[in-house]
Structure 1
Amino acid sequence: MASMSVQTERADTAAAAGIRKSDASPPGVGRDGENRGKSRGGAAVPYLLLLPALAATAVLLGWPLVKNGMLSFQNLNPRQLILHLTEWNGIDNYKEVLTGSDFWKVVGRSLVFTAVNVVLTMLLGTLIGLLLARLGKRMRLTLMLGLVLAWAMPVVAATTVYQWLFAQRFGVVNWVLDKLGWHSMADYNWFGSQLSTFSVVTLLIVWGSIPFVAINLYAATTTIPKELYEAAALDGAGAWQSFTSVTFPFLRPFLWSTTFLEVIWIFKAFTQVFAMNAGGPDRLTETLPVYAFVEGVGNQHFGMGAAISFLTILILLALTAYYLRTVLKQEEDEL
């Protein structure tokens, strides 16, 4: 009897297990299947949201870039434009540009010009950003208002103001220097030499670029926990040690990204250089964007100008690749 009862219980248990198995849903069906379907649908949502931006980028940037690349392989001058001719000349434009000495002089000049402006912008912007973090509320608001107004000023308007300030006969700068005792500067022509022209352009670009660096750096300093400064003070750290051990490590990613953006913006700066003195005197202050415009539109060698602009893009891509490689290497070292 006991054995029969045990067998009966086993049979009932097996039957119950069979019922549970029969009630179970096959793979991919039921809650798990629904969750996987929802997860796949949710994963596609970000890409669908990116489609309008990608389409606009392809139309507004991609097609002009393709068109510029096609023009760089053509002999396009006023004759071809008037007669609606398309004359392909292969890589002759690139050969003429790369084998000429003028292009490499402009490249070197552009790199030096960019380096000087970026260093001054980052140095002064960082100092002003740290000053904003130390000022009181009213002084901080006043300084930030001035920075925003300088940042919001149109580039052409700012360039015009600087032309007035540094005018030879009626400029305020020459008048102030004359009153301070430098009488030889009373009628000094700031746009008569390469160095003085670049000095004025650099002052203009740095003045317009500092607000972006300073305001964003101040915003970055607000994310640093105050407890870290308190711990550093308890350890006997001074102001410089607190900066190197607490502030700078937090600001390093911001400084890298901002420096990269400033390199791009300053390297491709056109309006300030061209509107100030049109690349003069004697084309000695032409940077790559101005050089491409003068050769392409000014001298009506449109194929040549397209080739120079395409080479400028390649140089920017090389700088971008170097930046990304440096950032990835730093992340690997931190890990």
Structure 2
Amino acid sequence: MPATPSRRLPRRRPPTLGPYLMIAPAVLGMLYLLLYPFGRALLISLQDFRLRELIRGDAEFVGLRNYQTLLTDPRFWDVVRRTFLFMAVNVVAIMILSTLVALMTERLGRPARAVVLSSLVLVWAVPVVAATTVFQWLFHSEFGIVNETLTRLGFTSFEGYTWFADGSAAFTILVVLIVWQSVPFAAITLYSALTTVPEELYESARIDGAGATRIFRSVTFPLVRPIFMLVLSLEVIWTFKAFVQIWVMTRGGPGDATTILPVYAVQTALANQRYDLGAAASMVTVLLMSGVLVLYFRQLFRQEGEHT
């Protein structure tokens, strides 16, 4: 029998550096913008860096002395506790409301769904400073519509009420503002995940007699859990480092009622001209946020390992 000719395998082309060279400027620029500020702040946190050193540039290296000063300050630990409380309240409210909005949007007809999604996008597009200014006017003691409405409803004690002079009220207003700004992104993302759930699974669950709560717990949530956890982690990061809303609205006041770690770092650096302590507070903030995310991802990977 004649021998069958052997098939030649196509030769693999050697990898070229062209694509990597094309993206290299963007990657290097991004690394510079991310790593240089972080490295500079880390260096300042290890120096005696005040206004004199900022001008003359001859800062003395002091090691971990700034961190020791920071960690022995009782006010710092009060701020840490308030930061975690602020983060927990915001994240829980955002995830509950965004999940409910996503579920509601999925069940609406096409015209109503378009209206809801458009409204969410418009709210999401409002600049942070503009939204914060609007909330300041809403709760203004003399010209705010909130006091005017409550007074007309018969709550005369709110006539001329100064919301931002009350620590609990200012804290609550900031929570409402941040939740209002954050729910659109989370709701749209969760709604997108809900659209990927096959309708056949819902029909099978209804045939088996499962109610709405059981369907969500046993069918919907397991399938959208990865997206849900991703949104949760993003909201933890965003609320943990919230700064603009607090700084524009209250600057951490009244007293320290709305002071969280990013605000505390800026207050320490600018008001007291202790740039070294401010940088140390920023480094501690990054460390605490990283610790929270590491614990969260460990738990997430553990759950995924149990299900596989």
What range describes the TM-score normalised by the shorter chain of this pair?
over 0.9
Q: Give deviations 1:272-293, integer Å, cap 9, x for gaps.
A: 1111111011233110000000
Letter matched to residue 275 of structure 1: V
The 1-side partners of 2:212 and 2:284 are apart by: 46
The 2-side partners of 1:258 and 1:225 are apart by: 21
Counterpart residue number, 1:174: 147
Counterpart residue number, 1:220: 193
Q: Which has the larger radius of gyration?
A: 1
Counterpart residue number, 2:54: 81
Letter matched to residue 323 of structure 1: Y
Counterpart residue number, 2:234: 261
1:236 aligns with 2:209: yes
Counterpart residue number, 1:41: 15
Q: Spell out structure 1 runs of 4+ moving beyond 3 A.
A: 44-54
The 1-side partners of 2:29 and 2:304 are apart by: 32
The 1-side partners of 2:225 and 2:23 are apart by: 29
Distance 1:119 1:225, change over 3 A: same
- CA shift for structure 1 position 50: 6.4
Range with greater deviation from structure 2 (154-163 or 242-251): 242-251
TM-score, length-normalised on structure 1? 0.86
The 2-side partners of 1:53 and 1:228 are apart by: 44
Letter matched to residue 218 of structure 1: Y
1:124 aligns with 2:97: yes
Counterpart residue number, 2:179: 206
Counterpart residue number, 2:134: 161
The 2-side partners of 1:53 and 1:244 are apart by: 43
- CA shift for structure 1 position 89: 1.6
Q: Give deviations 1:160-214, integer Å, cap 9, x for gaps.
A: 0000000011110011111111110111111112111101100100000000111
Counterpart residue number, 2:254: 281
TM-score, length-normalised on structure 2? 0.93
Counterpart residue number, 1:6: none
Contact 2:94 2:183 in 1 (8 A): yes
Larger helix proportion of the pair: 1
The 2-side partners of 1:53 and 1:173 are apart by: 47
Distance 1:62 1:244, change over 3 A: same
Letter matched to residue 31 of structure 1: L
Range with greater deviation from structure 2 (215-224 or 235-244): 235-244
Range with greater deviation from structure 2 (45-54 or 255-264): 45-54
Structure showing greater relative contact order (alpha-carbon pairs closer than 8 Å, 6 or more residues apart): 2
Q: Secondary structure at the match of 1:41?
A: coil
Q: How many residues align?
A: 308
Counterpart residue number, 1:313: 286
The 1-side partners of 2:306 and 2:18 are apart by: 34
The 2-side partners of 1:305 and 1:155 are apart by: 24
The 1-side partners of 2:42 and 2:298 are apart by: 27
Q: Secondary structure at the match of 1:285?
A: coil
Letter matched to residue 169 of structure 1: E
The 2-side partners of 1:195 and 1:57 are apart by: 40
1:249 aligns with 2:222: yes
The 1-side partners of 2:85 and 2:156 are apart by: 32
Specify every segment of 5 or more residues in structure 2 that has no aligned partner in the other structure, as ranges.
none
Counterpart residue number, 2:125: 152
The 2-side partners of 1:53 and 1:79 are apart by: 36
The 2-side partners of 1:259 and 1:72 are apart by: 31
- CA shift for structure 1 position 31: 2.4
